[in-house]
Structure 1
Amino acid sequence: MKLSKIYLGLFSLIAILMLAACGGAAEDEAADSKDSSSGSGEDTSYTVEHAMGTETLEKAPEKIVILTNEGTEALLAMGVTPVGAVQSWTGDPWYDHISDQMKDVQVVGLESEVNVEAIAALEPDLIIGNKMRQEKIYDQLKSIAPTVFAETLRGNWKENFELYAKAINKEEEGKQVIADYDQRIADIKEKLGDDVNKEISMVRFMAGDVRIYHKDSFSGVILDQIGFARPESQDVDDFAEKNATKERIPAMDGDALFYFTYEEGDGEATDVEKEWIEDPLFKNLEVAKAGNVYKVDDTIWNTAGGVLAANLMLDDIEKFMIK
């Protein structure tokens, strides 16, 4: 009888211990489940300050529409293909140097004439535009999707690039793109040696206009980053001297002259280029007599305005200036 009571007590104790163990395991499992659940509900939102105010995105965007040419290059450089983009200023519809990466991208108008309906049809998660180009339609764009605007388009491409990297939640990738570019600048400067002190002149030919480019232009900023000198008349912190007359040809002189022509397909800009290059005043420039006048691509040196073009411009600098 006593043994029966002892056995009964032992069985009861074992049962209690087993139930406790099961209960503990269940609690651990529930806790793990709760932790997992709370992890999946982690806040992924972030805020971007931009030219028009502040924009909050709930998560990193997957469908992006970009409304500037330089912005398109920024996205591509960070490994992102937009669902929609404005047409390149030259090309059908994209610049040659980006066309392979843009095959499936929908055209949504021009920088200066955006197709709002086409943007809405793409149902984007984010729209990136520019105050200088699209301020009047900002409210329309914002009603479609979160919208971030850069302030301006001229000068240093890095400023807008950093904003775009933040907007698409790829700041680390953006920092790497800039670091790679900065390393190229440093390498070129080292290879140039004393030649970095040469004065570089820049001229652009257009239908009905000839411009002498200054320091606050896309290519002017890059020359300055390398450390090149500029002719005195071009060593100015603004964009360009527009509507230059032939009396201003002497201001184009330098140790090297790069010129580019914005041709829209009707041949007018090419005619302007030929007229000026063959002018006796131009041929009499020291830079022309020395054979240091170089024609380069307008898309790369001016029109595209983005990081991909910047690197291609550095290719030209290496080609023509490093012997």
Structure 2
Amino acid sequence: MRSLLSVLRGSALALSALLCLPSWAADRSVVDASGATVTVPDKPQRPLALSELDLDALLALKLTPVGTVKGRGQDTAPRYLGPAAARVPLVGGFGAPVLDRVIALQPDLILAGGIPDPELLAQLKRIAPTVITYRLGEDWKAAFERIGRLVNRAPQHREFMTGYQKRVEEVRTRLGKQASATVSVVRWNPQGPAYMLKDSFASLVLADLQLKRPASQLQPGVAHSQPLSLEALDRIDGDWLFIGTLSPTGQATEALNTARQSPAFRQLRAVQQQRMVGVDGSLWTSLGGPLAALTLLGDVDRAMAGR
């Protein structure tokens, strides 16, 4: 009798342990950004976001991930996402998840952003279904639409994009005379200023508002220019200058504060007309996502509307 009771107790414990494991319900095939077909949960409950865009998109879709990585150049999740992101456990730095932490969170789906490392991807796939969510150079709208499909939240995606377009039209109307202004977007690095190229995240949101970029900033590309010398500061000028650093402290911020005291900086048209706006460089000059786009619209609205 005692032996039978022991067996029953052991079976009950084993069953309890199995019930504690994540239920993947892997009953849907999707094609990710790499072109791979992946079997994923129909309705993921424990997604893991391994890029800023993945985290941004999941929160916009009203789905909180079980974990994420630090924002670019930051020790926390991206600052612009606020308390909702700050409560999400971190599994490592940008592009460098710690596998033990990933395993501990028991994700049922891993959104791997644009991770190019095949060895890391192979390790992640052993933990949970893993999808590449965007291609290098792809705009945030295409990536957001794909993420909505991958996590089976297409209605939430459509609802968000409807609200985004409404906000674009609202801000465009509020700009008034400033709707024809040229807008310069600059990330200040320790080596000097770099302007955002034509196809970068911030440039695309400004294009939605039909705002123009300075002629010197119209080169194709999704990133930023090479750092400029102080002698070439005229290339960052415009009717408006939105300027930021990846971190609010550190060498880049110190370099910007020093440059602001120089005669060349003070001679910029945007500075003289008090149309230089300090912004969060980790939002304006990074990859960006749907919530970042909304925040950027708000920054433009507050700075330029009614001026």
What range is the shorter-chain TM-score in?
Answer: 0.7 to 0.9
Q: Within the alignment, does 1:151 sit opposite 2:134 as a pair?
A: yes
Do the aligned partners of 1:68 and 1:86 also contact (CA within 8 Å) in 2? yes
Do the aligned partners of 2:50 and 2:69 also contact (CA within 8 Å) in 1? yes
Q: Which residue of 1 aligns with 2:167?
A: 184
Taking the aligned partners of 1:78 and 1:236, their CA distance within structure 2 comes to 33
Taking the aligned partners of 2:61 and 2:269, their CA distance within structure 1 comes to 43
Q: Within the alignment, does 1:321 sit opposite 2:287 as a pair?
A: no
Do the aligned partners of 2:49 and 2:112 also contact (CA within 8 Å) in 1? yes
- The code of the aligned residue for 2:30 comes to V
Q: Which residue of 1 aligns with 2:20?
A: none
1:155/1:316 CA distance change after superposition, 3 Å: farther
Taking the aligned partners of 1:58 and 1:284, their CA distance within structure 2 comes to 57
Taking the aligned partners of 1:151 and 1:304, their CA distance within structure 2 comes to 11
Do the aligned partners of 2:76 and 2:86 also contact (CA within 8 Å) in 1? no
Taking the aligned partners of 2:296 and 2:176, their CA distance within structure 1 comes to 19
Q: Which residue of 1 aligns with 2:274?
A: 291
CA shift digits 1:235-270 (9 cap, x unpaired): 2221321121122211112111111122374x3112
Q: Which residue of 2 aligns with 1:247?
A: 231
Q: Which residue of 1 aligns with 2:69?
A: 86
Range with greater deviation from structure 2 (77-86 or 108-117): 108-117
Taking the aligned partners of 2:37 and 2:299, their CA distance within structure 1 comes to 39
- The code of the aligned residue for 2:243 comes to Y
1:290/1:155 CA distance change after superposition, 3 Å: farther
Taking the aligned partners of 1:142 and 1:150, their CA distance within structure 2 comes to 14
CA shift digits 1:44-75 (9 cap, x unpaired): 83322113311122421111111001211111
Residue of structure 1 aligned with 2:207, choices 213, 224, 242:
224
Structure 1 runs not aligned, ≥5 long: 1-42
Q: Which residue of 1 aligns with 2:8?
A: none
- Superposition TM-score, scaled by structure 1 size: 0.80
1:173/1:195 CA distance change after superposition, 3 Å: same
Do the aligned partners of 1:204 and 1:260 also contact (CA within 8 Å) in 2? yes
- Residue 305 of structure 1: CA displacement? 1.7
Residue of structure 2 aligned with 1:72, choices 55, 68, 80:
55
Residue of structure 1 aligned with 2:102, choices 107, 119, 140:
119
Do the aligned partners of 1:199 and 1:256 also contact (CA within 8 Å) in 2? yes
Range with greater deviation from structure 2 (291-300 or 61-70): 291-300
Q: Secondary structure at the match of 2:112?
A: strand
Do the aligned partners of 1:112 and 1:133 also contact (CA within 8 Å) in 2? no
Alignment map for 1:188-207 (pairs within 5 Å): 188-207=171-190
Q: Which residue of 1 aligns with 2:257?
A: 274
Taking the aligned partners of 1:188 and 1:155, their CA distance within structure 2 comes to 25
Root mean square deviation of aligned Cα? 2.2
Do the aligned partners of 1:155 and 1:221 also contact (CA within 8 Å) in 2? no
- Superposition TM-score, scaled by structure 2 size: 0.84
Range with greater deviation from structure 2 (193-202 or 248-257): 193-202
Q: Secondary structure at the match of 2:186?
A: strand
1:103/1:255 CA distance change after superposition, 3 Å: closer
Do the aligned partners of 1:203 and 1:213 also contact (CA within 8 Å) in 2? yes
Residue of structure 1 aligned with 2:147, choices 158, 161, 164:
164
1:74/1:153 CA distance change after superposition, 3 Å: farther
- Residue 106 of structure 1: CA displacement? 2.4
Taking the aligned partners of 1:159 and 1:302, their CA distance within structure 2 comes to 18
Taking the aligned partners of 2:116 and 2:292, their CA distance within structure 1 comes to 20
Taking the aligned partners of 1:123 and 1:286, their CA distance within structure 2 comes to 54
Do the aligned partners of 2:30 and 2:39 also contact (CA within 8 Å) in 1? yes
Taking the aligned partners of 2:37 and 2:55, their CA distance within structure 1 comes to 22
Equivalenced residues, count: 280
Q: Which has more radius of gyration?
A: 1
Identity of aligned residues (%): 28
Q: Which residue of 1 aligns with 2:19?
A: none
- Residue 81 of structure 1: CA displacement? 0.8
Q: Which of structures 1 and 2 has the larger relative contact order (alpha carbons within 8 angstroms, sep 6+)?
A: 2
Q: Which residue of 1 aligns with 2:246?
A: 262
Range with greater deviation from structure 2 (53-62 or 93-102): 93-102
Structure having the higher helix fraction is: 1
Range with greater deviation from structure 2 (256-265 or 118-127): 256-265
Do the aligned partners of 1:132 and 1:153 also contact (CA within 8 Å) in 2? no
